[in-house]
Each structure stands twice: as structure tokens, then as C-alpha cells.
């Protein structure tokens, strides 16, 4: 039986986004505050996912050995370093979150059966890399607050309460929604980016956060005048709003995850994924609810 195990590690490091062949104005336009000299730092959190069969001791790998390998090949070299200088790979391709994850994979692959490297730059930005050349995933986390009422316009009040329970109460209720938007793309061989991060954040703000924040979704968002704003329908609508703007930025919308509360979240997969591969198409996103 195949099993995936995950090992967590962390390191603190600084980096700077700056290309010497570009002018100062070009660097500032592309990288913004990240281009400032001498750089800025993060407390990175790393998750390394490994696959294998259970041995007679009930383990995929000896995690003490895994810890030592990650420490030797990655943490001891990156911790309290300036990333641009520490590894030769970062002189060719800037040490963005997605490129750091890619190079960590390359450093660990000779020693460990990797299936994923996930690197958190912060709680609001992280990258996933699965060993597919220059392809990587970048996730932005944000939030908005909104109210809604779950009631289908074609149903009676009695039937709505039967279907939606307390959520059908006439004055609605509110949530602090947590939104994660994951995009997929090719890491640029020089900038290290799969997408312009500033432009991606702006698109999410323009199309979702600003229009949705502090609204009563049923009344303030035209789409939900006739569509019940369940977490699933909200996530689906967000994916439809973001698909084209993200494509124009040169990336592909991969997943939208909406967390309505600690007990209720859902995910829309906008491309083929490990979920329902036989039915996932470009025009039929895959929905998974985690209740």
C-alpha cells in the first residue's frame, strides 16, 4: 500500500528581486518594494511530501533520516542567508517563492521519494511544486466579510426552512470568508515568477474582494438575486469571475477555496485535478465540499 508522509521544516532568509540587466525604473515597475536594496526577509515554512510503501515497522521512511537529509541539503544552507547569493540557481532565476520550492525539490530529489514541495513565504502566500519542469502553483490567501441568506426564490418559506434550516431566516447572517486562489503556470527562467504577483493580487481585489466585502450578497451582488449564495455557489462564481483576468496575466486559474467557517469550506478545481478526473473539463469545474 502506497502512503504519503509529510515533514515540516522552517528557515529564515532574505532575498531581493533585482535583475542587473534591467534599469532601476524597470526593476521597480516589475518588482515594486521587493526590489529595494539590500532586500527583505521571511520566516519560511517548508513541507516535504514523500511517497512509499509501509515497511514492517509501519513506516514509509525513517523520519529521523528524513529530518537529517532536509537539514543537511536545505535548512543548514538557507537558514539566516541571503538567498540570492547562497545557491547558484538563484543567480540565474530569482529566488521567488515558487522558484525556491523548485530548487529545494532539485536538491532533495536524489535522496528522497518526493511527491510535493510546499513552501510558505507567509500565511498569505505559498507555492507548491511537484517536479514538473518549470511548472508550479502559487496561492494567494485573502478575505472578505459578507452576509447572505440561503433561500431559493422558487420555494415557499416552509420549504426553504426545511432545506436550509436556520440559514433561511429572513434577515440573513454573516461570515468572515477566507479565500484562497491558486494559479498554475511556468516559472520564468529569469524573474522566477509564474505570474506578476502585484497584478494577481490586484485582480483578486478588483473582481472579488472589493465588490463582495461588507455586502449582503443576495441584494448587493446581481448574480445572487436568483442564485442561492451557498459557499459552493460563491466559490463557483468567484472562479468564473477570475478565470479570464488571470489568463490575461499569463497564468491559469487552478483552484478556488472558500472557507466559510472553521467547519465549512469548499474547493472549485478549474483544471483537471486528482478529484474526478474523468468528468473535469474546462467548462465544468470540479467541486469538492469539505463539511
Q: Is 127 part of any domain?
A: no
H or E element: which one contains 235? helix 231-248
Helices and strands in the chain: count of H runs, count of E runs: 11, 11
CB 178 within 8 A of CB 258: yes
Q: Which residues contact 234 (CB under 8 A, 6 or more apart)?
A: 148, 177, 217, 258
Kindly list the distances between the CA atom of residue 202 and the CA atoms of 160, 205, 287, in Å, as whole numbers in the listed order: 37, 5, 25
Kindly list the distances between the CA atom of residue 135 and the CA atoms of 6, 19, 86, in Å, as whole numbers in the listed order: 21, 22, 23
* Domain end residue (candidates: 94, 121, 148): 121
- Same domain? For 39 and 183 the reply is no
CB 213 within 8 A of CB 238: no
Number of domains in the chain: 2
Active site amino acids: 167, 214, 260
pLDDT tens, per residue, the chain with 291 residues: 789 999 999 999 999 999 999 999 999 999 999 999 999 999 999 999 999 999 888 898 999 999 999 999 999 999 999 999 999 999 999 999 999 999 999 999 999 999 999 999 999 999 999 999 999 999 999 999 999 999 999 999 999 999 999 999 999 999 999 999 999 999 999 999 999 999 999 999 999 999 999 999 999 999 999 999 999 999 999 999 999 999 999 999 999 999 999 999 999 999 754 444 343 334 445 454 443
Q: Is 212 part of any domain?
A: yes
Q: Is 218 part of any domain?
A: yes
- Same domain? For 95 and 153 the reply is no
User: Domain range for residue 152?
Assistant: 134-291
CA gap 186, 207 in Å, rounded? 24
Q: Is 126 part of any domain?
A: no
Label residue 253 exposed, middle or buried (CB < 10 Å: 0-12, 13-18, 19+).
buried
Amino acid at each position: 500500500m502506497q502512503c504519503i508522509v509529510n515533514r515540516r521544516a522552517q528557515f529564515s532568509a532574505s532575498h531581493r528581486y533585482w535583475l542587473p540587466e534591467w534599469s532601476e525604473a524597470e526593476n521597480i515597475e516589475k518588482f515594486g518594494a521587493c526590489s529595494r536594496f539590500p532586500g527583505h526577509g521571511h520566516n519560511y515554512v517548508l513541507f516535504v511530501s514523500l511517497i512509499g510503501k509501509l515497511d514492517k515497522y509501519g513506516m514509509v521512511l525513517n523520519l529521523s533520516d528524513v529530518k537529517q537529509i532536509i537539514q543537511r541539503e536545505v535548512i543548514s544552507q538557507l537558514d539566516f542567508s541571503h538567498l540570492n547569493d547562497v545557491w547558484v540557481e538563484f543567480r540565474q532565476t530569482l529566488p521567488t517563492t515558487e522558484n525556491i520550492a523548485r530548487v529545494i525539490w532539485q536538491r532533495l530529489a536524489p535522496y528522497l521519494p518526493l511527491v510535493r514541495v510546499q513552501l510558505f513565504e507567509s500565511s498569505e502566500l505559498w507555492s507548491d511544486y511537484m517536479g514538473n519542469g518549470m511548472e508550479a502553483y502559487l496561492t494567494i490567501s485573502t478575505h472578505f466579510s459578507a452576509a447572505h441568506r440561503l433561500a431559493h426564490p422558487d420555494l415557499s418559506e416552509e420549504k426553504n426552512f426545511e432545506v436550509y434550516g436556520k440559514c433561511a431566516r429572513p434577515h440573513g447572517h454573516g461570515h468572515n470568508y477566507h479565500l484562497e486562489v491558486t494559479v498554475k503556470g511556468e516559472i520564468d527562467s529569469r524573474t522566477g515568477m509564474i505570474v506578476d504577483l502585484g497584478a494577481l493580487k490586484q485582480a483578486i481585489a478588483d473582481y472579488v474582494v472589493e465588490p463582495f466585502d461588507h455586502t449582503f450578497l443576495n441584494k448587493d451582488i446581481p448574480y445572487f438575486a436568483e442564485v442561492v449564495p451557498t459557499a459552493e455557489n460563491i466559490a463557483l462564481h468567484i472562479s468564473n469571475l477570475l478565470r479570464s483576468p488571470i489568463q490575461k496575466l499569463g497564468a491559469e486559474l487552478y483552484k478556488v477555496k472558500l472557507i466559510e467557517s472553521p467547519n465549512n469550506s469548499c474547493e472549485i478545481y478549474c483544471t483537471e485535478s486528482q478529484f474526478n478526473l474523468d468528468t473535469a473539463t474546462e467548462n465544468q469545474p470540479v467541486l469538492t465540499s469539505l463539511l
